[in-house]
Amino acid sequence: MVELIPLLMFGVICLVLLAGFPVAFSLAGTALIFAGLGIVTNTFESSFLGAIPNRLYGDMTNMTLVAVPLFVFMGVLLEKSNLAQDLLSNMAEIIGGFRGSLAISVIIVGALIAASTGIVGATVIAMGLISLPIMLSRNYDQSLAAGTICATGTLGQIIPPSIALVILGDVLSASYQQSQLSIGNFSARTVSVGDLFMGAIVPGLILVFCYAAYVAIRAYISPSMAPAQEVKIVKNRWKILITSLLPPFVLITSVLGSILLGIATPTEAAGVGAFGGLLLALSKSSLTWRNLKEAVEATTEITAMVFMILLGSSIFSLVFRGFGGDDLITSIFTQLPGGAFGAVLVVMIIIFLLGFILDFIQITLVVVPIVGPALLMLGIDPIWLGIMIAINLQTSFLTPPFGFALFYLRGVAPDALPTQAIYRGVVPFILIQIALLITLAIFPELVTALPNAVYG
């Protein structure tokens, strides 16, 4: 029975989180309670608790994670500068008035906004407030409009530079090092956030293309669902392109490009992005002292939440290891039918279900450190695993009835939009993402080829 204590810990923390208690304090509190009971019953070595200060200090001095508040600040600034609204209106004018053009504009703009904010909730809410009324006023089908916005909002999970990928990359790097040390490989290469960014480019572009293709095909099969708009004669098309579309695109590509080319670390690039976002907001004359204050407060709140969860998860994973949780998970995975494939499939199902009740930060900082080392010891590529987890979470955030993206859109959508329409609208996009997961499982080179070609 003692060997099953790690599983009991995991079950208890899931129940505590379902009860609505704060995540960070629930993780640390549950771990310390189990550790105390283990010390009393001589099933836990108290020396593990002595490692807590060093582990927390390591988390606090992790330079990679400094990129989190900087990327958040960049995203919030771009949101406050009404960038999405300008992008949407200008993009719709530039690409023309064919059937589904407005929805395709939403997808393209949403992808840019998702790349800049990296937060699912912020993107869905912003696009819901801006684009949903426009799409409904132009007689777009309710389910198609809602599904397009929800699916586009979740692109922040996979399109770099993504906060989700920054956090996931740091966790997977530690898990990979731990797994290699466990099998006696003391000279393993490191896994960086840049690796994960590079691996996410092809899957992210595939998703955007598939979303747009689905909308275009659906619009031509059923013209009433996405009617064509009156084509306007757009004067100074190049001026609109340069003044409205080029600056945010240059900002995002410069941040991402500096990381991928090895010119800057993620933290340095995030600093450039935050400064560039500030300049972009100032150039639009939409940045007031109130907006700046709100951006700083939002950044502080999100950053504090991330790091408190990180500290709580560090304590939880330390106690989990002290009870032999790593060995237990490894033994379970090695005994599963199907070998590495069976282990990955089980983990993906668990993460998908947890995505209904936990957000990506909680899953990344709680679940991945537990299962990551065991999976990577089976020879699984860490970059491929990271992208699969990110897309899996993206899919769970869309899946009715508990998907977070659905809740976000429901909160800002008008009462005239039925909840059933939102549910119906996301189904095709869920199928697209599941098809992508299957494709990446069959052809992992779609993820690994680019990082291997660039970084060797």
For 383-409, the pLDDT digits (tens) are 999 999 999 988 888 888 777 788 888
What pLDDT score was predicted for residue 182? 77
Residue 235 is predicted with a pLDDT of 59
In tens, the pLDDT along 128-175 reads: 877 888 888 888 899 999 999 999 888 878 888 777 888 888 889 888
Region 317-330 average pLDDT: 82
Q: Higher confidence at residue 181 or residue 230?
A: 181
The whole-number pLDDT of residue 14 equals 77
* Residue, of 50 and 186, whose pLDDT is higher: 50
pLDDT of residue 51: 85
Give the Å distances, CA to CA, from 289 to 230, 281, 292, 293, 296. Answer: 39, 12, 5, 6, 11
Rounded Cα gap, residues 265 and 66, in angstroms = 11
Per residue in 348-388, pLDDT (tens digit) is 988 888 877 677 777 888 888 888 888 888 889 999 999 99
The reported pLDDT for the residue numbered 208 is 93
For the segment 441-449, the average pLDDT, to the nearest whole number, is 94
What is the DSSP secondary-structure string of 195-226? HHHHHHHHHHHHHHHHHHHHHHHHHHHSGGGS
Residue 229 is predicted with a pLDDT of: 66
Helix (H) or strand (E) holding 33: helix 23-40
Lowest mean pLDDT of 29-33, 414-418, 441-445, name the range. 414-418
448 neighbors 381 (Cβ within 8 angstroms): yes
228 has a pLDDT exceeding 80: no
In the predicted model, is pLDDT for residue 92 greater than 70?
no
Q: Which domain holds residue 141?
A: 2-455
From 105-109, 116-120, 196-200, the region with the lowest mean pLDDT: 116-120
The whole-angstrom separation of Cα 449 and Cα 426 is 30
Token pair belonging to 123: 């993107």
CA–CA distance, 78 with 76 (Å, rounded to integer) = 5
What mean pLDDT is predicted for residues 180-205?
A: 82
Residue 436's closest CA among 402, 403, 407, 398? 398
The residue to which tokens 């899953």 are assigned: 363
24-39: average pLDDT: 88
Number of domains in the chain: 1
Query: Cα–Cα distance between 7 and 413 in angstroms, integer?
Result: 40
- Contact between 160 and 383 under an 8 Å Cβ cutoff? The reply is no
